[in-house]
């Protein structure tokens, strides 16, 4: 009993979710997809340079001394082999940067890095709204930007970056992200129609069988998802892991790729 408890503490992975406004983390129970403790959040440093962000992550990790396993870290940009290639809503110092190498050196333990929406999608497909769903599933996160994760029969095609697709002459995330709703003080109906227009373009491109909408707004799905579904002519559901999906997906990805 004691031995297995010690063993599970040693193996417990941590998920860290880097966002434009906050960096969040928690240890994750991979058997259930639940957080093992309350998540911790620290405001994203400004400017959000790699060293400053790595220091915040170090601080976050120190809050969970019981979780000694590998660490999965999400980043809002294209990631290839631990390297951050783009940074639309973060400091330009991340562009073409060896992020995993920096984090591994600063934390002194194995680290895997992946796109934030891909992480949220992985978690929803395993534990949430996409569980057991075959065919084409598109997960979207509506926050500071629009993130996308595309799955075929449960397998991820990473780095799709649909938030930067042009819709009627403008980047999708400039039309319909959660940030745009706040900045323009849009009501749910008006913003829902903006999301619907964008999602209808994605649906025309990909003919998905299911669209999952995540991000902070997913808890308010009843206020805008019906109009989105009508415009996209595709089943649209709210994510189930809500704000935790990125953390859970990061931990899952790290444990799959590092162990």
Residues that bind ligand BGC (CB under 6 A): 76-77, 86, 88-89, 115-117, 141, 143-145, 147, 161, 163, 173
Q: Which is nearer to ligand BGC, 77 or 82 (CB)?
A: 77
Question: What's the min distance (Å) between Cβ of 233 and ligand BGC?
Answer: 25
Question: What's the min distance (Å) between Cβ of 161 and ligand BGC?
Answer: 5
User: What CA–CA distance (Å, rounded) separates 31 from 111?
Assistant: 20
Question: What's the min distance (Å) between Cβ of 115 and ligand BGC?
Answer: 5
- Angle, vertex CA 144, rays to CA 143 and CA 145, nearest 5: 85
Residue 187 has a CB neighbour count (10 Å cut-off) of: 10
Q: Which is nearer to ligand BGC, 11 or 88 (CB)?
A: 88
Question: If you ran DSSP here, which 8-state letter would residue 188 be given?
Answer: H
Write phi, then psi, for 19 (nearest 5 degrees): -125, 170
Q: Which is nearer to ligand BGC, 30 or 79 (CB)?
A: 79
Residue 19 in 3-state DSSP?
coil
Contact 50, 102 (CB under 8 A): yes
Q: Which is nearer to ligand BGC, 113 or 117 (CB)?
A: 117
- Angle, vertex CA 136, rays to CA 132 and CA 137, nearest 5: 65
Q: Which is nearer to ligand BGC, 48 or 89 (CB)?
A: 89
Question: What's the min distance (Å) between Cβ of 212 and ligand BGC?
Answer: 14
Question: What's the min distance (Å) between Cβ of 108 and ligand BGC?
Answer: 27
Contact 212, 237 (CB under 8 A): yes
Contact 163, 174 (CB under 8 A): no
């Amino acid at each position: 009993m004691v031995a297995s408890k010690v063993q599970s503490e040693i193996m417990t992975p941590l998920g860290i979710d880097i966002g434009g406004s906050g960096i969040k983390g928690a240890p994750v129970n991979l058997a259930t997809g639940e957080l093992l403790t309350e998540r911790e959040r620290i405001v994203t440093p400004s400017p959000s340079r790699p060293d400053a962000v790595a220091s915040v992550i170090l601080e976050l990790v120190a809050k969970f001394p019981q979780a000694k396993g590998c660490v999965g870290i999400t980043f809002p940009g294209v990631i290839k082999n631990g390297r951050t290639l783009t940074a639309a809503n973060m400091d330009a110092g991340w562009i073409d940067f060896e992020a995993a190498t920096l984090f591994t050196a600063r934390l002194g333990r194995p680290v895997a890095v992946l796109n934030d929406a891909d992480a949220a999608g992985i978690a929803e497909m395993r534990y949430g709204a996409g569980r057991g769903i075959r065919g084409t599933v598109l997960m979207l996160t509506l926050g500071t930007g629009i993130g996308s994760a595309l799955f075929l029969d449960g397998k991820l095609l990473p780095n799709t970056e649909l938030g930067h697709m042009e819709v009627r002459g403008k980047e999708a995330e400039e039309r319909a992200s959660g940030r745009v709703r706040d900045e323009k003080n849009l009501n749910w109906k008006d913003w829902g129609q903006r999301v619907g227009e964008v999602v209808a373009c994605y649906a025309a491109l990909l003919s998905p069988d299911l669209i999952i909408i995540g991000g902070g707004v997913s808890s308010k799905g009843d206020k805008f998802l019906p109009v989105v579904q009508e415009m996209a002519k595709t089943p649209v559901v709210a994510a189930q892991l809500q704000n935790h999906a990125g953390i859970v997906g990061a931990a899952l990805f790290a444990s799959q790729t590092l162990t």
